[in-house]
Amino acid sequence: MRNLNILLSAGLLGGMSVTAAAEATAVSNLTLAAAVELALQDNPGLKSLRERWDAMRERPAQAGTLPNPMFTYSGMDAASGGDWPNTGEKRFMVQQEFSWFGKRALREGIAVKDALSMQWELDSMTREIVMMVKEDYFDLHAVQHVIAITREEEAVVRRMVKAAETMYATGERTQVDVLKAQAEITILKQKCLELLARENTLKAKLNTLFNRRADAPLGAAVTPPALAVVGNLDSFFALAATNRPEVQAAQTQIERYQLEKTLMAKEAMPDYKLGLEYRDIDASDNQVMFTVSVELPLRRTKYRAGVREAEKMRASSQAARAAAERQSALDVQDAAFKLQTARSTLELYRTELIPQAEARFSASEAGYRTGKVDFMDLLESERFLLNARMSYAMEKGSVGMQSARLERAIGTTLPANGAPGGEGK
């Protein structure tokens, strides 16, 4: 029995260890796809708009349905000596109200356009949230990479400290070199603290987008930014005109107010009611009566005002569409140019600056060991290489962020152009 308890305890602990390991893995790694999915599922703003859209999709059925029929019962008898409530004449009437031909279809069409407008608003916010997630994610990926570079650089500076101490012990260098190298380690620690603070802020922003507490555990961003294809601006402008939800929303409003204008013109036409009445009369034969009630639309001023209002609102929507098209073109132009600049800068770091910085540092380190280079030159070479590597990592993040902004501008996803370029060491 004791052995069985030991085995059960060991199995339970083993299961807990596996669960803990799985949870740790889930916390330590966060892919871009998972981050976007979390935001789309749990973001409270999106949830609110999604529910409102679902609610508005129920309106067309309400607008296109006839009102409920009306049942009326009335009794008539002599004012004096009548047998109330069992009157001598009983009347039963059923009435159904009808709108003038085409009104119900127009009201239903307007409700459909209102629901579609809400759908475009939801689409716009969805794309905005996706862009924000990608921006923060790629910024986090860059910052975490820079933190790793900074920690790696500490080992390089410690190697410099050791070289300075060795040469100081042999009298070839002064103690000042050792102190400068040690101070450089302290500076790196300070940079690391600043980067950790920035990492914490970015994690808090992502958690907020995920509808989680700002301090919820969030691990490493493991998806590097892809080098998006920067195509022809004209094609991007065309994509924005087709896919941009703000443009589509304005177009939907144009169509909506055109329907409303037609409806307001028809409102001057009379609605009517059809009824069927059955009379139960004690002293004579029962009777059936058919009734028609017609509205008298005498006050046409409000209908003419409604038509003018719809015309003005349609003109406003047309202007809004033009403004949305101009804004989308500006966003495309700005994002495409910034993305191209970021990619060119990234390529410059990869092919020129980092190799140059590595060669300079290697030459300075060798020269310092042979006494041909002073420590400040070595230190400047190390700082130049560190800044180049850090800038390269941050520029990769900038490529990802600008790609996200361009995707938001054109309203669709950019194609990938292979894997990101190699990193300088």
pTM: 0.80
Angle between helices 375-410 and 175-209 (to 10 degrees): 10
Please give the C-alpha separations between residue 10 and each of 2, 16, 62, in angstroms, as whole numbers: 12, 10, 63
> What is the structure's pLDDT at 413?
84
Rg of the chain taking only CA atoms, in angstroms = 37
Task: Give the tokens for residue 191.
Answer: 């940079």
> What is the structure's pLDDT at 101?
92
> What is the structure's pLDDT at 167?
72
Please report, in angstroms and rounded to a whole number, the separation of the first and last CA atoms in the chain: 59
> What is the structure's pLDDT at 114?
96
User: Hey, how many other C-beta atoms are within 10 angstroms of the C-beta on 97?
Assistant: 16
> What is the structure's pLDDT at 77?
79
> What is the structure's pLDDT at 61?
93
> What is the structure's pLDDT at 86?
80
Of 327, 150, 332, give the one whose Cα is nearest residue 235: 332
Whether the CB-CB separation of 414 and 229 falls below 8 Å is answered with: yes
Task: Give the tokens for residue 338.
Answer: 């910034």
Environment class of 299 (CB within 10 Å of its CB; exposed 0-12, middle 13-18, buried 19+)? exposed
> What is the structure's pLDDT at 175?
75
**Per-residue model confidence as pLDDT tens for the chain (425 residues):** 444 344 334 443 444 443 333 333 445 689 999 999 999 999 999 999 999 999 999 999 999 999 999 999 998 877 777 776 788 888 999 999 999 999 999 999 999 999 999 999 999 999 999 999 999 999 999 999 999 999 988 888 887 777 777 776 777 666 787 788 788 888 888 999 999 999 999 999 999 999 999 999 998 999 998 865 566 788 888 888 888 999 999 999 999 999 999 999 999 899 999 999 998 887 778 889 999 999 888 888 989 999 999 999 999 999 999 999 999 999 999 999 999 999 999 999 999 999 999 999 899 888 878 778 888 888 888 889 999 999 999 999 999 999 999 999 998 887 654 333 334 33
All structural domains of the chain, each given as residue ranges with its CATH number in brackets, are 30-78+96-410 (1.20.1600.10)
Environment class of 111 (CB within 10 Å of its CB; exposed 0-12, middle 13-18, buried 19+)? buried
206: Cβ contacts below 8 Å, ≥ 6 apart: 35, 133, 136, 137, 140, 218
Interatomic CA distance for residues 292 and 63, integer angstroms = 24
Of 112, 118, 130, give the one whose Cα is nearest residue 49: 118
> What is the structure's pLDDT at 24?
39
